[in-house]
Amino acid sequence: MNIQVHQVDSQEIAEATADYVLIKNIEDGLDLMGNIYYLGYDKLIIHQEHITPDFFDLKTGVAGEILQKFSNYRVRLAIVGDFSRYESNSLKDFIFESNKQKHINFVSSVTEAVARLSA
């Protein structure tokens, strides 16, 4: 895993990248959050392709479990990707509601992720 840091004024936002899926299950999500927090970051950008497809199937509970921990530990998150390919109305509603709260963000670009997390 690589961490790229985006600097906005005095804020640092970590972007996690890799050549593999970083979050394959709930434990991976919690480990990633813990590692990022340990490194001193409280804002994280991760790309959709680095997350298991099960995350985007709300029936699995993976998204809810992971995102609840991010909220509890006050680590803000932006997931970058194209979410239009998902047909689930529940997922669309979940994304809409998450984006309204601004703690967990589903965005289409890193630029938008940085803007949301630095606001």
Domain boundaries, the chain: 2-118
Tokens of 32: 């990633």
Q: Residue 45: what pLDDT?
A: 98
pLDDT band at 105; cut points 50, 70, 90: very high
Percent above pLDDT 90 for the chain: 95
Q: Residue 32: what pLDDT?
A: 96
The CATH class of the 2-118 domain is alpha beta
pLDDT per residue as tens digits for the range 27-62: 999 999 999 999 999 999 999 999 999 999 999 999
Question: Exposure pattern of 36-46 as b/e (b: 16+ CB <10 Å)?
Answer: bbeeebbbbbb
In three state form, how does the secondary structure of 17-32 look?
Answer: ECCCCCECCHHHHHHH
Q: How far apart are CA 70 and CA 75, in angstroms?
A: 5
How does the average pLDDT of the chain come out, rounded? 95
Q: Residue 102: what pLDDT?
A: 87
Give the end-to-end CA distance of the chain in Å, rounded to a whole number: 26
- Is the pLDDT higher at 102 or at 7? 7
Q: Please state the rounded mean pLDDT for residues 111-115.
A: 98
pLDDT per residue as tens digits for the range 63-103: 999 999 999 999 999 999 999 988 899 999 999 999 998 89
